[in-house]
Amino acid sequence: MYIGSRIGLEHGWSHVYSLDLQHQLFAQMRPGTPFGDGERFLSPPPAAWLIAPLTLVGPQAAFFVWLFLSVAALAGAWWLAAPGAGWLRVLWLLGAAAWYPVLYSLSLGQPVVLVLLGVIACWRLAESGRPYLAGAALGLSVLKPQVAIAVPVVLLVAGRWRIAAGWAATTGVLALASLLMIGTQGFNDYRSLLAEAQTVVNNRYFTWAYLVGPGPISYVVQIVFIALGVAAAYANRKAGLARLIALGLLISMLSATYWHLQDFAILVGAAWLFVRDQPPAWQRAWLVVVALAGELAWPLTPLPILLAVTVWFALLAIPRRDADHALMAAQ
């Protein structure tokens, strides 16, 4: 993101996805370090715009400022959404901060926790009767779209169209501004980088491609989960907003074709909202399985976390008998 900002400011935003320029700037910043797939700037342009002010202080200081903002975002999301009270509520923050995917995300300077804050702010604003502003907050997901891409779809199918409209308006404005800034050359470079990224094994290691391979079957699995998610959203249309947003986050993960270990940090928000929906104790206990599978994802391989999240999705997909009561409470 820092490299993308530097290129945009120094060479023009139409060159922000130039692989040659990215390589050159990376070599200046870290001489002798290999320029691999993980060093490429692939985020949408708003991510580079957000980092632009930090280029004034240099890459090292910029990272620590970003880290401070990320920790503040995690704390803010916890303050808004964590269930319980007293020390029990504090434990939710300590657990989130100690979970390996969250720590890994923070260590890499990833924007996942900022997207988490946007999702949680969306929930809070919608609960307070400001659906369009809630949708605008959800627009923060453009920083890393894949981690929350299914949330507006779930909300739309479930009849929360005002929130979805706010999200569509916000992302539409950002998309138009991005296209105007990067132009045809930048857009073509972006498409080329994205197409190449899909062939990188590491980018799909934590998706169902790990089990079924990166070929057409993996896309079939993606479509199946999207279809199941849409059906689940409609079946839960009378449920509370917390349940719907948690459902959207799980669908985003299960249907992803581009996902890394640090992206599982978004599931912290899903856990908080899931517990706020007051599921049975045995369902809440399943979160321990999800947490352990994520904590040990490297030694255990992605399969346990994929299966654990799938079971969690099934728990959310089946409507609760008291869904009508939840809807009344939300209104």
Residue 260 is encoded by which pair of tokens?
């890394």
Question: In terms of C-beta density within 10 A (0-12 exposed, 13-18 middle, 19 or more buried), how is residue 137 classed?
Answer: buried
**Average pLDDT along the chain:** 93
Q: Is 238 helix (H, G, I), strand (E, B) or coil?
A: coil
pLDDT digits (tens, 9 = 90+) for 164-186: 999 999 999 999 999 999 999 99
3-state secondary structure of 161: helix
* pLDDT at residue 327 is higher than 50: no
Q: In angstroms, how far is CA 97 from the centroid of its own chain?
A: 17
Residue entry with tokens 């890459």: 59
User: If pLDDT is split at 50, 70 and 90, which confidence band does 322 have?
Assistant: low
Is the pLDDT at 32 greater than 90? The verdict is no
For a pLDDT cut of 70, what percent of the chain falls above it? 97
More confident residue, 169 or 320: 169
- 283 pLDDT higher than 60: yes
Average pLDDT (154-169) is 97
The C-alpha atoms of residue 125 and residue 187 are separated, in whole angstroms, by: 34
Query: What does the alpha-carbon distance between residue 162 and residue 134 come to, in Å, rounded to a whole number?
Result: 9
Taking the C-alpha atoms of residue 320 and residue 326, their distance in angstroms, rounded to an integer, is 9
Check whether 75 has a pLDDT greater than 50: yes
Distance between CA atoms of 261 and 68, rounded to whole angstroms? 21
Inter-helix orientation angle 112-127/161-197, to 10°: 170
pLDDT number for residue 326: 47
Rounded to two decimals, the pTM is 0.93
CA–CA distance, 154 with 226 (Å, rounded to integer): 10
pLDDT higher at 126 or 324: 126
Query: What pLDDT, on a 0 to 100 scale, did the predictor assign at position 3?
Result: 93
Residue 84's identity, in one-letter code, is G
Burial zone of 65 (CB within 10 Å; 0-12 exposed, 13-18 middle, 19+ buried) = middle
Instruction: Look at the alpha carbons of 251, 255, 258, 264 in this order and tell me if their dihedral is positive or negative.
Output: positive
Collect contacts of 323-326 with beta carbons under 8 A, ≥24 apart. 323/236, 323/238, 323/239, 324/238, 326/238, 326/239, 326/240, 326/243, 326/277
For the ranges 23-27, 28-32, 87-91, 118-122, the one whose mean pLDDT is highest? 118-122
Q: Which of 157, 138, 158, 160 is nearest to 149 (CA)?
A: 138
| 232-262 tens-digit pLDDT | 999 999 999 999 999 999 999 999 988 999 9
What is the C-alpha separation between 296 and 80, in angstroms, rounded?
28
Q: How far apart are CA 103 and CA 284, in angstroms?
A: 23
- In whole angstroms, how large is the CA radius of gyration of the chain? 20
What's the rounded Cα separation, in Å, for the pair 330 and 186? 44
Q: pLDDT at position 329, please? A: 45
Alpha-carbon distance of 150 to 313, in angstroms, equals 13
Q: What percent of the chain has pLDDT over 90?
A: 83
User: The dihedral of CA 53, 263, 114, 100: what is its sign?
Assistant: negative
Confidence of residue 159 (pLDDT cuts 50, 70, 90): very high
Estimate to the nearest angstrom the gap between the alpha carbon of 90 and the chain centroid: 23
Q: Tell me the mean pLDDT in the region 69-74.
A: 97
For residue 6, is pLDDT > 80?
yes
- Between CA 169 and CA 137 the distance in angstroms is 11
